[in-house]
């Protein structure tokens, strides 16, 4: 059983090594495609982390005394393909395109959380303590990458009314004044705190 668990662990390591390399290749394009500087920063930070994760995987192969190998991660290929679709569908930088990019990037982080979670459990099973710790580090990074994206989407982009903003940006100049009125009305409606105060 022990040797077959190690076999499975190594197989999954081949998959994630390839997945991480695909991410390193794809991220620069996504960074320059993002409009929000906060989002750009988050993606850039995660690119650095991803490169370190690849180094970490190298260490893990050494600790396990197996050859460093890759096997195409088809799932990551598809997930990255979806990111590219966003850039094809939304040609210009916009808040709404940022949200679409976040949605796709979060799928990637969730996938990685799954893989590292499995890897860590398998490593624990064969009592490879150092390997467990290294995998836990990467797992934590993937988790916090995901929650950072959540914060950017929910704390900034979405609550400030990304949908409305995107609609207004698309309006021709003539309608700008009307658009401003709509924006004001939305702001009023969107503030439950003020509403509550007004009742008092």
Q: How far is the CB of 21 from Fe ion (least distance, A)?
A: 10
CA dist., res. 166 & res. 140, Å (int): 34
Per CB under 5 A, the list member of 34, 73, 134, 179 interacting with Fe ion is 73
Q: Does 105 bind Fe ion (CB under 5 A)?
A: no
Instruction: Please identify which residue in 75, 126, 166, 168 interacts with Fe ion, judged by CB under 5 A.
Output: 75
Measure the CA–CA gap between 51 and 24, rounded to whole angstroms: 7
Among 66, 72, 52, which Cα is nearest to 140's? 52
Nearer to Zn ion, 96 or 101 (CB): 101
Count interface residues toward Zn ion (CB under 5 A): 2
Q: Which stretch binds Fe ion (CB under 5 A): 33-41, 75-83, 123-131, 158-166?
A: 75-83
| Per-residue binder mask for Fe ion (CB under 5 A), 32-71, x = binder | ------------------x--x------------------
| Residue 158 near residue 166, CB atoms below 8 Å | no
- Alpha-carbon distance of 104 to 81, in angstroms, equals 10
What distance lies between CA 38 and its chain's CA centroid?
13
29 by DSSP, 3-state: which? Answer: helix
Q: Does 15 bind Fe ion (CB under 5 A)?
A: yes
CB 25 within 8 A of CB 132: no
The residues of the shown chain that bind Fe ion, judged by CB under 5 A, are 15, 20, 50, 53, 73, 75, 109, 112, 142, 145
The residues of the shown chain that bind Zn ion, judged by CB under 5 A, are 50, 142
């Amino acid at each position: 059983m022990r040797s077959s668990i190690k076999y499975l662990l190594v197989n999954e390591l081949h998959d994630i090594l390839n997945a991480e390399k695909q991410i390193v290749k794809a991220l620069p394009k996504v960074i320059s495609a993002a409009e929000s500087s906060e989002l750009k920063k988050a993606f850039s930070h995660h690119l650095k982390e991803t490169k370190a994760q690849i180094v970490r995987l190298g260490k893990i192969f050494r600790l396990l005394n197996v050859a460093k190998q890759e096997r195409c991660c088809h799932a990551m290929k598809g997930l990255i393909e979806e990111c590219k679709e966003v850039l094809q569908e939304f040609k210009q930088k916009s808040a709404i395109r940022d949200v679409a990019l976040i949605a796709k990037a979060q799928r990637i982080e969730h996938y990685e959380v799954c893989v590292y979670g499995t890897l860590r459990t398998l490593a624990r099973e064969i009592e490879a303590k150092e390997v467990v710790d290294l995998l836990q580090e990467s797992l934590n990074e993937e988790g916090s990458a995901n929650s950072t994206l959540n914060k950017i989407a929910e704390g900034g982009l979405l609550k400030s009314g990304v949908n409305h903003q995107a609609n207004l940006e698309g309006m021709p100049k003539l309608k700008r004044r009307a658009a401003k009125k709509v924006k004001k009305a939305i702001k009023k409606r969107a503030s439950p705190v003020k509403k509550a105060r007004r009742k008092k």
